[in-house]
Amino acid sequence: MSSDRFSLGNVPRWFTEKDEDHSSWYAEHFRELASDGTDLSGEARLVDAVVAPRSRILDAGCGQGRTAAALHHRGHHVTAVDIDPVLLASARTDNPGPPYLEADLATLDLGAPLNTGYFDAAVSAGNVITFVAEGTEVAVLRNIRTHLAIDAPYLLGFHVDRYPLEDFDRDLRQAGFTLESRFATWDLRPFTPDSDFAVSILRNS
């Protein structure tokens, strides 16, 4: 993977921590889950519950598009972004509907080319924030925030062993977000000191 695709040569950990076949495996894995009837819309249901109908939603790190498509089918105007062209190709085939754009979240700037104004909400499912290039977490959070309307929510989930919450909470404040709520799962089970996963609802303060 050539580093010249990325800002300042910072290659996302999605590429440095995985082998070159991982993206294809990941896309096929979710095809199999969908074929088996596995519920893949939990993140979308939570986002849908906290926004108004027909909201403009940024899926930051959309992967193979399951959350973006689920929100699209619920009537929202979704713009989906990911850095992985393999997953984006899968998204366009397996989960059509939203526009799928290739972009690095560390340098994300959708305002001028899309001319869509601010988003009403953003979501990052699937450990997205833990797979950005090391040291770019604040830049990623800040870039997502700058695409949001004032008081808009940003929902994201990740395993806390990959991104300690004390570090994340420091970074979100530095990026200009306020932590509103935290849960252990996307179906809102309470977060406890023993929880290994955190779903945080941030606000663009």
Which structural domains are found in the chain, ordered by start? Answer: 3-204 (3.40.50.150)
Report in angstroms the alpha-carbon separations of 122 from 25, 60, 146.
26, 7, 11
**pLDDT above 70 coverage of the chain, percent:** 84
Q: How confident is the model over 67-113, as pLDDT tens digits?
A: 999 999 999 999 999 999 999 999 999 999 999 999 999 998 887 54
- For residue 120, give the DSSP letter: S
Query: Position of tokens 């996307």?
Result: 186
Return the number of other C-beta atoms located less than 10 Å from residue 19's C-beta.
8
Q: How confident is the model over 7-55, as pLDDT tens digits?
A: 445 887 656 666 667 777 776 766 776 777 776 678 999 999 999 999 9
